[in-house]
Amino acid sequence: MNKHLYSLLVAQYLSAFADNAILFTVIAMVMQSAEPASWYVPALQSVFLVAFVLLAPWAGWFADRYPKSRMLIIANLIKAAGASLLLLHIEPLLAYSLVGVGAALYSPAKYGILPELTGHNQLVKANSWIEGSTILAILTGMMVGAKVADYSIDLALAGTVGLFIVSALAALLLPKSVSKTTQSGSKLVLFFQEIRLFLSRRRSRFSVLGASLFWAAGACVRVILIAWAPLVLMTHNATDIASLTLFLALGIIAGSAIVPVIIPLDKVPRVRFAAYAMGLLIIALGFTSDAWSARAVLFLMGIAGGMFIVPINATLQELGQQTIGSGGAVAMQNFFQNAAMLISVGGYTLVSSLKISPVIALIGLGVLLLIAIFVAAFRMPKAIKAASSHE
């Protein structure tokens, strides 16, 4: 790794740590309220995701038009502003949506800068480091954030503001290169033209679909856990929820670490096996009834998830840099995967309002994921292998 990649890892770790600390702080705020509505946590997740969908046409353009390192700084400052609004006791749905705006701008710059810092042969490995450091940040951020939030909401929020600012300072060490000259005209029209161009490749279509399914399932599992754990495992605070998801995070770190050896960039069709395992493990989680069984299943689910998403991300970045720009490709990916997450979380919100058990919701989610991956993989792997020699 070069020195710039180390700087990116530091900036990303701090920002992701604060992202997850603030998430579990908001969860603690809801759980400490007298009678939290069953729809409120899914609604919080939804307002965060809406920014990724609505801002996708502009987020990618900004990431390719201006130095990505500077976009990381701006995005972190917007996140800090959202955390400050929470600290000032502004309605959480409004304040957390501003954190979502910062995250929507941050993501294309974070992933889009990787092809600029590393070459083809090291791209999967660089993604592995980024995913591993991100999950480590999730791991530590959620545990520390939940612990501090259970003690003091204001202290937890003040800490996240400080971390976003320090992450912005770390991004100052990254180069200010611009990899693509952007087109003038309506960003909305250009965005959908880029989608059309990017999805004309079969490898691109498979990768976008795979990433969307992964994040839709992941978002739904995270929201369901908040209702499932108190019902099945008798957990009652943010710290308990965070300690449970610790094992999911450890699994993703392990999966991200081993995947460059098992699934190199030219063997992406293999990710379907990891996706099948992920679907089966979501179903298995629905049948667990004690904490250690749940932790074991979540750990294995994390391994499968890490092995699934890392090669998919690397493929999208490389194809994006070759066509519409790496920042634009990540913004387009965010558009599809966050739209999928909104649909999945919205579906669970509806299910929750109908008083359907989170156990049934988990089993149903796993079955739907298995069906979706089977349908996607039925034709696509051969198409991708054939395309690899022509595209």
CA 239 to CA 245: how far, in whole Å? 10
Task: Give the pLDDT score at 248.
Answer: 84
The CA distances from residue 64 to 58, 123, 331, in Å, are 10, 19, 10
Task: Give the pLDDT score at 18.
Answer: 94
Task: Give the pLDDT score at 119.
Answer: 64
45: Cβ–Cβ under 8 A, 6 or more apart, which residues?
219, 222, 223, 341, 345
Largest CA distance in the chain: 61
Q: State yes or no: pLDDT of 300 exceeds 90.
A: yes
Tell me the pLDDT tens digit for each residue of 223-271. 888 888 888 888 767 777 777 778 887 888 888 888 877 776 667 777 8
Q: What is the pTM of this model?
A: 0.72
Q: Looking at per-residue confidence, does 283 or 113 come out higher?
A: 283
Q: Mean pLDDT across the chain, nearest whole number?
A: 81
296: confidence class by pLDDT, cuts 50, 70, 90: very high
Tell me the pLDDT tens digit for each residue of 69-104. 889 999 999 999 999 999 998 988 899 999 999 998
Q: Looking at per-residue confidence, does 190 or 385 come out higher?
A: 190
Give the residue-averaged pLDDT of 145-160.
91
Tell me the pLDDT tens digit for each residue of 31-69. 777 565 667 777 788 888 888 888 877 877 787 778 888
Q: State yes or no: pLDDT of 383 exceeds 50.
A: no
Q: Output phi, psi for 172, to 5 deg.
A: -65, -20
Task: Let me know the angle formed at the C-alpha of 159 by 157 and 161, rounded to the nearest 5 degrees.
Answer: 75
Place of tokens 């320090």: 166
Identify the structural domains of the chain with CATH numbers, from first to last: 3-171+188-388 (1.20.1250.20)
Task: Give the pLDDT score at 206.
Answer: 78
Length of the chain measured in residues = 391
